[in-house]
Amino acid sequence: MASWMDIAFTPSVRAAQTRRGSRDAYARKAVKGTARTAIDAGFAAFVGTARSFYLATASSNGQPYIQHRGGPPGFLHVLDQRTLAFADFAGNRQYISTGNLDENPKAMIFIMDYRTRHRVKIWGTARVIEDDAALTRTLMPERYAARAEAAIVFSVESWDTNCPQHIPTMVFAEDVEALTDSLAALEAENARLRNQLAEAPVATPDRP
pLDDT of residue 193: 83
pLDDT band at 165 (very low <50, low <70, confident <90, very high): confident
Taking only the tens place, the pLDDT of each residue in 67-103 is 999 999 999 999 999 999 999 999 899 999 999 999 9
18 and 65: one domain? no
Is residue 81 in a domain? Answer: yes
Other C-beta atoms within 10 Å of 150: how many? 19
Average pLDDT rounded to a whole number, residues 146-154: 97
pLDDT of residue 205: 62
DSSP code for 167: P
1 and 42: one domain? no
Is residue 71 in a domain? Answer: yes
pLDDT band at 204 (very low <50, low <70, confident <90, very high): low
Other C-beta atoms within 10 Å of 5: how many? 17
Average pLDDT rounded to a whole number, residues 175-187: 80
Taking only the tens place, the pLDDT of each residue in 11-60 is 999 999 999 999 999 999 888 776 788 999 999 999 999 999 999 999 99
Contact call for residues 119 and 113 (beta carbons, < 8 A): yes
Phi, psi of 7 (to 5 degrees): -80, -45
47 and 143: one domain? yes
pLDDT of residue 129: 98
Q: Whole-number mean pLDDT of the chain?
A: 90
Is residue 30 in a domain? Answer: yes
29 and 43: one domain? no
Is residue 140 in a domain? Answer: yes
pLDDT band at 175 (very low <50, low <70, confident <90, very high): confident
60 and 109: one domain? yes
151 and 50: one domain? yes
110: β partners:
54, 121
Angle at 108 between CA 8 and CA 103, to 5 degrees: 100
Is residue 189 in a domain? Answer: no
pLDDT of residue 200: 76
pLDDT of residue 2: 77
- The CATH number assigned to the domain holding 94 equals 2.30.110.10
46 and 20: one domain? no
Task: Give the global pTM.
Answer: 0.81
Contact call for residues 107 and 56 (beta carbons, < 8 A): yes
Which residue range forms the structural domain that includes residue 89? 36-161
27 and 48: one domain? no
Residue 24 parent element (H or E): helix 23-32
Is residue 170 in a domain? Answer: no
43 and 120: one domain? yes
Residue 42: helix, strand or coil by DSSP?
A: helix
pLDDT of residue 159: 94
28 and 112: one domain? no
Q: How many domains does the chain have?
A: 2
What percent of the chain has pLDDT above 70?
Answer: 96
Is residue 185 in a domain? Answer: no
76 and 143: one domain? yes
15 and 62: one domain? no
In angstroms, the CA 13 to CA 26 distance is: 11
